[in-house]
Amino acid sequence: MLVTGGSGMLGRDVVTEFARRGWTVASPGHTDLDVVFRPHLEALAQGGYGQYDWVVNCAAYTAVDRAEEEFMAATLLNGVAPGSLGFACHQNGWRFLHVGTDFVFDGEAGPYEEGALPNPVQAYGRTKLMGEDHAFQFCPDAVVARTSWLYGAHGKSFPRTLVEAARAGKALRVVADQTGTPTSTVDLARTLADLVAASAPGGVYHTAGPEPMTWHALAVRAIRADRRAQGLTDEPSVEPITTADWPTPARRPRDSALVSTKLGALGVAPMRPVDESLDEFVARLSAVPPATGGLA
Ligand SMILES: NC(=O)c1ccc[n+]([C@@H]2O[C@H](COP(=O)([O-])OP(=O)(O)OC[C@H]3O[C@@H](n4cnc5c(N)ncnc54)[C@H](OP(=O)(O)O)[C@@H]3O)[C@@H](O)[C@H]2O)c1
């Protein structure tokens, strides 16, 4: 296995899960295998980085708001690199698993099954949709695993920011009119490993948590999990606000929840209930240093 973006929030848990399954995993860092640097891509395609059964692409430009201004950087990483990696895979007879996003949808008709028509409404989603298209153009049996609202112990995420703010006693206001499917990186790593183990046929798969909810509901559930872990039972106080109350540079979909219709047929189990994943998440958060910066 070759995992790109192995130092990222999802990539770290993917590398751990693959190793746990006894698979040999190579995960060169950004500077050793830069997925937008032509000499590295040529070397990869020529087998200079080794031979693999699968290449799993967790590298991405994930700063949704900044992508509005840094469209070129986001396009190279999210739009072009999946084509280059897919090409290398196809040349060598490797399978390609690429991670996609719910932000390819406009959010007007969620929840979305795999066959729904994408229509991204911000730069990030457009670059990610381009990446899906390029992956399939250069590697027809690519697997694109779209996911949604990730949280993990090794990166910035909305639940992390909210739990840390609640721990610091800050007043919290959270958008209550956008819906998605919060997904633990540990659970997603298991599902991606299951797709690999099942030799999933090429195509798009929706791989997200089992419960659609709003950012506000997610904030309450995450803080509740944190309080539970400390033996506290008082209800979190989080003021619900609207999208109009919290303007952002990039437009967000109103409901981009993902529904999977294809995993069952491959014998891939649905992810755990969100509260179970959040209990594990807050326990892991306490074991790693606080995140720096704002929301991802
Ligand atoms: N986060 C979410 O809420 C969310 C939601 C839906 C879908 N997704 C998708 O899930 C995937 C993983 O997201 P994530 O949140 O885990 O991302 P992340 O934490 O931002 O990690 C991105 C990774 O990409 C690496 N990277 C950046 N530029 C690179 C380059 N030129 N060459 C090689 N590696 C490079 C980074 O390494 P350095 O740090 O060393 O640069 C880092 O390891 C992405 O495809 C994302 O679009 C995320």
Render pLDDT for 149-207 as a digit per residue (tens, 0 to 9).
999 999 999 999 999 999 999 999 999 999 999 999 999 999 999 999 999 999 999 99
Mean pLDDT, residues 264-285 taken together: 96
**Please, is 244 exposed, middle or buried when counting C-beta atoms within 10 Å of its C-beta (0-12, 13-18, 19+)?**
exposed
Beta carbon of 35 within 6 Å of any ligand 1 atom: yes
* Neighbouring residues of 20: CB distance < 8 A, sequence distance ≥ 6: none
Q: How far is the CA of 209 from the centre of ligand 1 (A)?
A: 19
Query: With 70 as the cut, is the pLDDT of residue 294 above it?
Result: no
Residue 293 has pLDDT above 70, yes or no: no
Q: What integer pLDDT is reported at residue 234 of this predicted model?
A: 87
User: What does the pLDDT look like over 24-46, one tens digit per residue?
Assistant: 999 999 999 999 999 999 999 99
Amino acid at 239: E
Q: Mind listing the pLDDT tens digit for each residue in 249-267?
A: 999 999 999 999 999 999 9
User: What burial class does residue 216 get, using C-beta atoms within 10 Å of its C-beta: 0-12 exposed, 13-18 middle, 19+ buried?
Assistant: buried
Which uninterrupted H or E stretch holds 98?
Answer: strand 95-101
Q: Is the CB of 30 under 6 A from ligand 1?
A: yes
Reported pTM: 0.96
Distance 61 CA to ligand 1 centre (A): 6
At 289, the pLDDT band (50, 70, 90 cuts) reads low
pLDDT band, residue 288 (cuts 50/70/90): low
For the residues 265-280, what does the mean pLDDT come to?
97
Q: Is 74 in the pocket of ligand 1 (CB under 6 A)?
A: no
Give the model confidence (pLDDT) of 210-228 as tens digits: 999 999 999 999 999 999 9
For a mutational test of ligand 1's pocket, the pick from 3, 10, 97, i.e. the residue with the most ligand atoms closer than 8 A to its C-beta, is 10
Whether 237 contacts 165, CB under 8 Å:
no
280 contacts 203 by C-beta, under 8 angstroms: no
- The reply to whether 124 belongs to the active site is yes
pLDDT at 23: 98
**Dist. CA 7 → ligand 1 center (Å):** 8
pLDDT mean across residues, the chain: 95
Residues 147, 143: Cα–Cα separation, whole Å? 13
Ligand 1 pocket check for 8: Cβ under 6 Å: yes
Concatenated DSSP letters of 147-214: E-SEE-TTS--HHHHHHHHHHTT--EEEE-S-EE--EEHHHHHHHHHHHHHTTPPSEEEE---S--EE
Ordered domains of the chain (ranges, CATH): 2-156+181-212+255-272 (3.40.50.720)
Task: Let me know: does 226 contact 166? Beta carbons within 8 Å.
Answer: yes
Q: Which residue among the candidates 52, 112, 124, 151 is catalytic per the annotation?
A: 124
CA–centroid distance, residue 240 to ligand 1 (Å): 29
- pLDDT for the residue numbered 296: 31
Q: Which of the 8 DSSP states describes residue 79? A: I
Q: Please say whether the dihedral angle defined by the alpha carbons of residues 211, 64, 295 and 17, taken in this order, is positive or negative.
A: positive
Q: Are 209 and 184 in contact (CB under 8 A)?
A: yes
- For residue 287, pLDDT over 90 is answered with no
Measured CA to CA, the distance from residue 14 to residue 204 in angstroms comes to 19
The per-residue pLDDT for 178 is 98
